[in-house]
């Protein structure tokens, strides 16, 4: 049942822009699946779905390997500009504060950018911890982030 439901999710998000978990759950119910928001949330996580910008300045679900046409740098720039509240550093750590609910998506974009000096990120709801190595690279990473935000 889970495999069929997840195949249906792939089909749905390939056909149309689905913006929220609630919208996806409703589409699944209309297709005959009995789902809760928690089930849909787990499916989204297991499938590794991401949200990408749409032409109407919203975000919709997408399958990562089918989003090659969307430029990662452009997505990172947009997310940085729209969500970052503040950036602070200490030793080899950067702390990025975002508006609530955006830290994990931004951290994911940073992780997938494969910056050599960033050895990892940890994200909560509105805070990202970037671990930088070597310590002397912190100003370089800060400058990269600042230039992307301009």
140 has a pLDDT exceeding 90: yes
22-68 residue pLDDT tens: 999 999 999 999 999 999 999 998 888 998 887 777 889 988 764 44
Task: Give the HSE-up count for residue 82: Cα atoms under 13 Å, Cβ half-sphere.
Answer: 15
58-70 residue pLDDT tens: 889 988 764 444 5
Helices 21-30 & 2-15, crossing angle to 10 degrees? 110
What pLDDT was estimated at residue 65?
Answer: 63
- Highest CATH level, class, for 72-149: alpha beta
Provide the residue ranges of all domains of the chain, joining segments of one domain with +. Answer: 2-66, 72-149
105 has a pLDDT exceeding 60: yes
| Rounded distance between C-alpha atoms, residue 41 and residue 66, angstroms | 20
| Rounded distance between C-alpha atoms, residue 58 and residue 43, angstroms | 21
pLDDT (mean) for 118-137: 96
Which residues 6+ apart lie within 8 Å of 134 measured at CB?
Answer: 92, 117
2-66 folds as: Arc Repressor Mutant, subunit A (1.10.10)
């Amino acid at each position: 049942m889970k495999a069929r439901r997840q195949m249906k999710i792939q089909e749905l998000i390939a056909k149309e822009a689905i913006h929220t978990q609630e919208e996806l759950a409703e589409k699944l119910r209309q297709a005959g699946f009995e789902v809760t928001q928690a089930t849909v949330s787990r499916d989204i996580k297991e499938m590794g779905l991401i949200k990408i910008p749409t032409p109407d300045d919203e975000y919709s679900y997408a399958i990562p390997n089918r989003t090659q046409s969307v430029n990662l740098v452009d997505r990172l720039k947009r997310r940085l500009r729209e969500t970052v509240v503040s950036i602070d550093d200490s030793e080899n750590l950067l702390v990025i504060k975002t508006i609530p609910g955006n830290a994990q998506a931004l951290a994911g974009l940073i992780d997938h950018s494969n910056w050599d000096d960033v050895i990892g990120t940890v994200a909560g709801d509105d805070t990202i911890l970037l671990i930088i190595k070597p310590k002397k690279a912190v100003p370089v990473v800060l400058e990269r982030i600042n230039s992307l935000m301009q």
